[in-house]
A and B are shown apart, each in its own frame.
Chain A
């Protein structure tokens, strides 16, 4: 079975090994004086310019999930899956100014994580701990999702076995390699690999959109084939256009996902690694190039319909693994060697974000749990080594998620993560603008938003996969007693309730004159740029930075 795919397997393996070697070499790339510091290992020395940031953040945000799950959603549901396009358009103007403020305040105070900022802004270790835990919990399924991308490719190449361990062995090996070079090179590894990953992706997608439509009867024919498929299906909510019921869901999902994207620890890690504010602003204009690619990738789902692709069977009998739609399309339509290149693009596409996510989660643990609660006097070298070890633990956790859970739910897992991370919006994003909210109120709002969000997700069934709970993120408004069949994105409702609770409790705590703590930041911290004279790289860093005169 795998012998039919030998060429693909060889091309895939060669490219994969090449990239792994790059990952190890990356430690010497733009080598720092002293790698034993969290700023170096976890943020690449905060020195990345426009191009590196573009590849790094692009490789970080547009993940293997993108290339596998979004077209799978288009294949299954049609227009509703295209939300990824408005989502990734809206996000950049939305965060254009916000991220600059976060970068400035982090630059001046030496913050590594969003929770570091919250800790200092609201003078509340408890709130910072909640933000950190939320970030870690939301990131874990996202890392697992990257494995699903690799697994879909391996499955299509016939690299599978019987039994849980044998079936997942290639992924376990891939992640062991990834873990090793992330441990050694930190953020420099994904930054360097991102160049290869994104170049491969751009090549594959260009070839796919220029060449495949000719084979499949032109774009008009592709859309007509999709229309015919959805007209024949019994599901009322699929189609090449939205209907009256899912428009609100489409818009709120796009907007809510956009709000959530830059609250994810890994996005913030990518942004904080950039050199100055100009790099961030220019990237907000340049990153949408990836959105175009994403839109075209989404349409691969319709191409698969036109090509008559049948997804491979799922983990349990009678189910299909819709994530294999795109790999199967490539296998059918491309020559073997080029399908191998495309698979490598997806596989490597999983490594870059997985590395950055595990680094981000490790930084959160180190800065906001280890240093805050376990060892207050940790030196920068100790911080770096704790972070390295945590990044290993996080990856083991992600592999365990995949080995023990049904990968069919990857997109829903990620959507649950999106709902969770959105609950940090009032403290992190609004906190960059105002300190009006009381720290206690932010904790209360967080709890309310999380509780409501999880309850709503629990209520949503998924008829397609025959699950009664956690079946998606589209909540029927009828459940609130409204006389309508419209659905809405859970995250938006949860974060609105979060904000309302935070505002009310703020007023109550003010009236009760509960202490609000002191703000560790000043207004002009939010505008500081590269070369700022008042940068405080953390009290502990001075010791080891002292011998080297600053150039």
Chain B
């Protein structure tokens, strides 16, 4: 409140919030679903689903897990 330059400390801490190294984890669910070698095959089948379908659907979990993890990790950092 009494700080003569309120901008400097505020921007420094909030910048740290967005520049966490954990953010690099977000690249995993961006890159992995875009590699056809992983999913473009029929076997093994799971519950009748060819790999093409069950693996791509399971990437949804990969995406959710990663964004949730990054959100939780960066939130804690900011709260410290």
Contact = CB atoms under 8 A, between A and B. Distances in A.
B66 A93 contact: yes
A241 B39 CA distance: 9
Chain A: number of interface residues, binned into ranges: 35 or more
Given A241-B50, A285-B71, A292-B60, A524 B34 contact: no
Contacts of A286: 64
Interface string A44-61: 000000000000000000
B52 A97 contact: no
Contact of B18 (A100, A288, A292): A100
Contact of B67 (A92, A220, A240, A251): A92
B67 A242 contact: no
Contacts, number: 117
Contacts of B29: 89-90, 92-93
B71 A251 contact: no
A548 to B, nearest CB: 26
Contacts of B18: 97, 100-101, 526-527
Contacts of A100: 18
B48 A222 contact: yes
Contacts of B41: 241
Interface string A248-268: 001100110000000000000
B20 to A, nearest CB: 10
A288 B64 contact: yes
Contacts of B33: 86, 89-90, 254
B60 A89 contact: yes
A149 B11 CA distance: 47
Nearest to B65: A285
B10 A524 contact: yes
Q: Is the interface of A mostly helix, strand, loop or mixed?
A: helix
B50 A282 contact: no
Interface in A285-302: 285-286, 288, 291-292, 295, 299
Contacts of A92: 29, 63, 67
Contact of B60 (A251, A291, A527): A291
B49 A288 contact: no
A220 B45 contact: yes
B36 A288 contact: no
Contact of A93 (B10, B45, B53, B63): B63
A360 to B, nearest CB: 25
A285 B62 CA distance: 10
A96 B70 contact: yes
B11 to A, nearest CB: 4
A455 B41 CA distance: 35
A125 interface: no
Given A97-B18, A524-B14, A282 B71 contact: yes
Among A89, A97, A247, find the residue whose CB has the most chain B CB atoms closer than 10 A. A89
Interface in A505-526: 522-524, 526
B72 to A, nearest CB: 9
Nearest to B34: A251
Interface in A451-468: none
B3 interface: no
A527 B30 contact: no
B26 A96 contact: yes
B48 A218 contact: yes
Interface in B10-28: 10-11, 14-15, 17-18, 23, 26-28
Interface in B35-80: 35-36, 40-42, 45, 47-50, 52-53, 56-57, 59-60, 62-64, 66-68, 70-71, 75
Interface string A354-389: 000000000000000000000000000000000000
Interface in A202-246: 213, 218-223, 240-242
Given A213-B48, A247-B36, 20 more contacts: A79-B52, A82-B53, A82-B56, A85-B56, A89-B33, A89-B62, A93-B26, A100-B18, A222-B48, A241-B40, A241-B50, A247-B40, A251-B34, A285-B64, A285-B67, A285-B68, A288-B60, A292-B57, A527-B15, A527-B18
5 contacts: A86-B59, A96-B67, A97-B26, A219-B47, A254-B33
